[in-house]
Amino acid sequence: MFTMGIDIGSSSSKVVILEDGVNIIAGEVIQIGTGSTGPKRVLDEALSKAGLTLQDMAKIIATGYGRSSVEEAHKQISEISCQAKGVFFLVPSAKIIIDIGGQDVKAIRLDSKGGVKQFFMNDKCAAGTGRFLDVMSRVLEVNLDEMAEYDSRATEPATVSSTCTVFAESEVISQLSNGVAKENIIAGVHQSVASKACGLAYRCGVEEDIVMCGGVAKDLGVVRAISKELKKPVIVAPNPQITAALGAAIFAFEEVIGANK
Amino acid sequence: MTDTTNMMAKELLGFYQEELYEEARRAKKEGKLVCWSASVAPSELCVTMDIAMIYPETHAAGIGARKGALDMLEVADEKGYNLDTCSYARVNLGYMELLKEEALTGKTPEKLEKTPAARIPLPDLLITCNNICNTLLKWYENLAVELNIPLIIIDVPFNHTMPIPQYAKDYIAEQFKDAITQLEEICGKKFDYDKFLKVQEQTQRSVAQWNRVASLSSHKPSPLNCFDLFNYMALIVCARSKDYAEITFKKFADELEENLKNGIYAFKGSEQKRVTWEGIAVWPHLGHTFKGLKNLGNIMTGSAYPGLWNLSYTPGDMSSMAEAYTRIYINTCLDNKVKVLSDIISGGKCDGVVYHQNRSCKLMSFLNVETADMLQKENGLPYVSFDGDQTDPRNFAPAQFDTRVQALDEMMKQKEGVSNE
């Protein structure tokens, strides 16, 4: 039996096709999100990779910011529950999830069964999100996938505000014009993101294992900064951008099984 | 005179709200005094003196709910009021500026012309308390200075410990007496204590009916969605010292009790989960917040905010009246706030709590983190908080609200072992 999870975020679209609730047949990501061609393209890509059609799916569940606009879905579940489900499947020892996506930062505390015990999210502010890193990457003229490498060469991380993306951007511009090395600025940017995420994680109560997911988890500079701040190791979920879509696909599987009992 | 005997509660609510504004406009035309008052300042004093009353907070909420806040906020912004200031204050100060401009030039500014809320007259005096926040003091001082009119301030100190000591009640009772003296000077007539007693008695009858309505959300399923209290609240604020509030609430409670008897509940279909809402409504997005919960099968059966007007006291006893106006939960310590909310949550048989992190109301919002933590330790119920604002529509993001309340719904169902289906 095949089930599908579709996670339409603010800046990327993800689809997971799951066989019998355990085998990931496809896990595709397109780096544009809701309101774009991303959702359709990622759906087509995943189906084509799996060699399946929508009719083969026993159930489809959508999650993420754009979950309500996915016509193919039979149901919507919040990305909080889906992240918990997906991460717990991949890392059963997970207690705390730190999920940083395009416009949201979340810390989720799991119960012993992988359910959501508590969660905290950023307020109406882009500081500390993937969008924040996007802005900084543009100003610094360093690609997102190169930022971790720059960070690893930093000698003295600069101070970058964690309260506002716009203010942080002007801080970064003034540091650039003062000749501060990009490596140090990027390490400061990563610390700024980490301080925002860790603030939420502390409210959940920090307990190992701590697992990071979401697109920003691919930036190891952020992962290192979070680990340093929490003084604990941080596990990056395998393929961290698809964990919510995976969770949605697992929910879909469980619901089909539950309905057939 | 309009015959109200056959009106439903909802019609009475609309009728009396308009009547109150009309009374104020008429008073102004006839050269009688109009007072702008804070929502939990003692209405009994001005009503005894036959002063027409306007409540800027309710008026601002009305402007917000009718999507007219931005125009007023822009005026306030242009006058230099900071965006971090309470949006009720900014909407009202913006509105006042437009009324003042109209009075000085004889020309109605366009923003005032097209504002969707009821027209209100400029005040001749102001009365405020600091029992719900201290922003009111500066807001009303600004009104007084801008309009060059008298301002009566009744100091109601914060209760850092409970129960309320007698000296605090004595102090507030003296403040009431001082306010009466000021009113006598402003009105040029003696305060009629016999009438005052009757007004106090009327206030108590209104409060009793208000509490009767609010208590109905304890039924499961509930005949009352507490979102309705947000709407009906206009009359407990603006007309509690008149029979308008008593008549309307009695009718509403009668209707709800009749519905309960006939198995008619507030949630069409079957209510699934019951939540407490902590904080003021998001007036510009009231429909969205209501539907967001409703679409998940959730009903609001707990809300401490309408309880601010549970102003029960013994008529004729100034100390008892003082206690009523100081014990409201946002004028008390964290422990008491938690206790009040705990009773609201259990009274409403709630499964979870939604906290409104209201940019306008620092007093209510800043304590929410600790309040939520303490309550969860006590009752184990899941909760979420969302960013919003009582009347500034820009501080609320519908999608963020939706995600949080959906996650709360999933946590509430997960807690009972019910699937997310």
Q: Could you tell me if B15 and B5 are in contact, meaning their C-beta atoms sit under 8 angstroms apart?
A: no
User: Encoding tokens for residue A130?
Assistant: 């993937």
User: Encoding tokens for residue B44?
Assistant: 């009994």
Q: Could you tell me if B240 and B309 are in contact, meaning their C-beta atoms sit under 8 angstroms apart?
A: yes
Q: What is the pLDDT of residues B278-287, one digit of tens each?
A: 999 999 999 9
Q: Could you tell me if B252 and B9 are in contact, meaning their C-beta atoms sit under 8 angstroms apart?
A: yes
**Residue A261: predicted pLDDT:** 67
What distance in Å separates the CA atoms of residue A181 and residue A193, rounded to the nearest whole number?
19
H/E stretch holding B144: helix B135-147
**Residue B419: predicted pLDDT:** 42
What distance in Å separates the CA atoms of residue A156 and residue A130, rounded to the nearest whole number?
23
What distance in Å separates the CA atoms of residue A168 and residue A125, rounded to the nearest whole number?
12
Q: How many CA atoms lie within 13 A of B323 on its CB side?
A: 14
Residue B55, phi-psi category: left (phi > 0), alpha (psi -120 to 50), beta (remainder): beta
Q: Does A184 touch chain B (CB under 8 A)?
A: no
Q: Could you tell me if A191 and A225 are in contact, meaning their C-beta atoms sit under 8 angstroms apart?
A: yes
Chain A residues touching residue B407 (CB < 8 angstroms): 78, 80-81, 116, 119
Q: Could you tell me if A197 and A230 are in contact, meaning their C-beta atoms sit under 8 angstroms apart?
A: no
Q: What is the pLDDT of residues A47-95, one digit of tens each?
A: 999 999 999 999 999 999 999 999 999 999 999 999 999 999 999 999 9
Q: Does A123 touch chain B (CB under 8 A)?
A: yes
**Of B400, B406, B414, Cβ closest to residue A124:** B400
Q: Which residue has the tokens 């029960």?
A: B312
H/E stretch holding B387: strand B383-388
Residue of A76, A81, A106, A110 to mutate when probing chain B, most B C-beta within 10 A: A81
Q: Does B404 touch chain A (CB under 8 A)?
A: yes
**Of A81, A123, A254, Cβ closest to residue B407:** A81
Give the residue from A251, A261, A244, A215 showing the smallest Cα distance to A61: A251
* Sheet strands (E) in B145-284: 151-154, 273-278
3-state secondary structure at position B274: strand
CB pairs under 8 A between A and B: 50
Residues 31-70 of A with CB under 8 A from B: 65, 68
Phi/psi of residue B197, each to 5°? -60, -45
Contact B420 A123 (CB under 8 A): no
> B227-238 vs B56-65: helix axis angle to the nearest 10?
140
Average pLDDT over residues A171-193: 93
**Residue A239: predicted pLDDT:** 94
DSSP state of B314: -
User: Encoding tokens for residue B93?
Assistant: 């100060």
Break chain A into its structural domains and give their ranges: 1-91+239-261, 93-236
Instruction: pLDDT band for A258, please (50, 70, 90 cuts).
Output: confident
CA B182 to chain A, closest CA, distance in angstroms equals 45
Average pLDDT over residues B364-390: 95
Residue B67, phi-psi category: left (phi > 0), alpha (psi -120 to 50), beta (remainder): left
Residues 146-175 of A with CB under 8 A from B: none
H/E stretch holding A169: helix A165-177
**Residue B417: predicted pLDDT:** 63
**Of A68, A123, A258, Cβ closest to residue B387:** A123
What distance in Å separates the CA atoms of residue B91 and residue B73, rounded to the nearest whole number?
5
**Of A78, A121, A124, Cβ closest to residue B406:** A78
**Residue B418: predicted pLDDT:** 47
Give the residue from B37, B14, B53, B44 showing the smallest Cα distance to B202: B44
DSSP state of A113: T
Give the residue from B303, B382, B374 showing the smallest Cα distance to B345: B303
Q: Which residue has the higher pLDDT, B399 or A252?
A: A252
CA A238 to chain B, closest CA, distance in angstroms equals 24
Chain A residues touching residue B395 (CB < 8 angstroms): 124
Instruction: pLDDT band for B410, please (50, 70, 90 cuts).
Output: very high
Average pLDDT over residues A226-244: 96
- Give chain A's mean pLDDT: 94
CA B79 to chain A, closest CA, distance in angstroms equals 25
ipTM score of complex: 0.86
Q: What is the pLDDT of residues A4-29, one digit of tens each?
A: 999 999 889 999 999 999 999 999 99
**Of B376, B384, B420, Cβ closest to residue A81:** B420
Residue of A123, A125, A163 to mutate when probing chain B, most B C-beta within 10 A: A123
The answer on pLDDT for B421 being more than 60 is no
The answer on pLDDT for B83 being more than 80 is yes
CA A83 to chain B, closest CA, distance in angstroms equals 11
Give the count of beta carbons closer than 10 Å to the beta carbon of residue B209. 22
Q: Does A76 touch chain B (CB under 8 A)?
A: yes
Q: Does B357 touch chain A (CB under 8 A)?
A: yes
Q: Does B194 touch chain A (CB under 8 A)?
A: no
Residue of B414, B415, B418 to mutate when probing chain A, most A C-beta within 10 A: B414
Domains A1-91+239-261 and A93-236 share a fold: yes
Cross-sheet strand order for the sheet of B298-303: B298-303, B273-278, B352-358, B383-388
Phi/psi of residue A20, each to 5°? 55, 30
What is A93-236's CATH topology? Nucleotidyltransferase; domain 5 (3.30.420)
**Residue A166: predicted pLDDT:** 86
**Of B357, B406, B421, Cβ closest to residue A123:** B357
What distance in Å separates the CA atoms of residue A209 and residue B280, rounded to the nearest whole number?
38
**Residue A128: predicted pLDDT:** 87
Give the count of beta carbons closer than 10 Å to the beta carbon of residue A36. 16
DSSP state of A26: E
Q: What is the pLDDT of residues B85-135, one digit of tens each?
A: 999 999 999 999 999 999 999 999 999 999 998 999 999 999 999 999 999
Average pLDDT over residues B202-229: 96
Average pLDDT over residues B133-142: 96
CA A86 to chain B, closest CA, distance in angstroms equals 15
Chain B residues touching residue A123 (CB < 8 angstroms): 357, 387
User: Encoding tokens for residue B167?
Assistant: 């000296």
CATH number belonging to the domain at A1-91+239-261, selected among 3.30.160.270, 3.30.420.40, 3.40.47.10, 3.10.20.30 = 3.30.420.40
- Listed in sequence order, the residues at least 6 apart from A222 whose beta carbon sits closer than 8 Å to its beta carbon are A100, A133, A148, A190, A193, A194, A197, A216
